[in-house]
Amino acid sequence: MALNLDFSFLTSDVIKANLVSTFEYSVQLTAVAAVAGTLLGTLIALMRLSSQPALQRFARVYVDLLRSVPLVMVILWFFLLIPSGFYSTIAGSFGDAHRPELAAVITFTFFEAAYYSEIMRAGIQSVPRGQVFAGYAVGMTYAQCMRLVVLPQAFRNMLPVLLTQTVVLFQDTSLVYAIGASDWLKGFQTVGNLFNRPAEMYLLAAAGYFVISFSLSMLVRRLQAKIQIIR
């Protein structure tokens, strides 16, 4: 089988027009979903570990539900369920023009929160109970004890896992093709269609995602050795 690969059509103008801003969007989507997802996930983890049955139940249903539905479905359903007026309300005409892109940010934040919450839950449980006692014993409230004593340690213990999850998230952002958001993969696709060279472009896309994800994974591995708390 001859693929007859030909990359001659790929000029810097073509790259600039299709692969730069789309790449920026994919990175932004990953970054926002990672940060907001971790914050929301931490909140859900705290609910899950709280002594209030109602909060526990809510957190469990939230996590189980989102982790049991394929991501593409979640992306589609969020897009279909968010009323179109919502985008212009939060971001004016910009919001109206970028509905799929904004929907993706919202979806990924809520979706990833389910995964991050399980990581943070493990992190919180990895902090010895004596630390909580020590926090309370010096007069901290529950909130202070969590914020100043437990969560910093939980976060540090789990940082490698959180970052690994974020690498997975970066790869998963390519699924926003389902709602037609202009992400990096869409950029490759557009060029491929434009010059009728889909094989070349999908090959490049795969290489691009691989290089970035693999180097990030390597960085995480290095970081892991560095940040261990000495006990």
- The contact set with another protein (CB under 8 A) reads 128, 130-131, 133-134, 136-141, 144, 148-149, 152-153, 156, 229-231
CB of 131 to another protein, least distance (A): 6
Nearest approach, Cβ of residue 123 and another protein (Å): 12
Min CB(4)–another protein separation in Å: 58
State the nearest-atom distance from the C-beta of 135 to another protein, in Å.
8
Contact between 185 and 193 (Cβ < 8 Å):
no
Minimum CB distance to another protein smaller for 36 or for 154: 154
CA distance 98 to 164: 29
Shortest Å, Cβ 139 to another protein? 3
146 vs 212, beta carbon nearer another protein: 146
For residues 93 and 82, the answer to whether their CB atoms sit within 8 Å is: no
- Kindly tell me which of 141 and 215 has the beta carbon lying closer to another protein: 141
Taking a C-beta distance cutoff of 8 angstroms, is the pair 169, 31 a contact? no
CB distance 59 to 117 below 8 Å: yes
8 A C-beta contact, residue 22 and residue 183: yes
First to last CA, the chain: 59
Angle between helices 99-126 and 53-67 (to 10 degrees): 120
CB of 140 to another protein, least distance (A): 6
| List of residues 6+ apart from 134 with CB closer than 8 A | 149
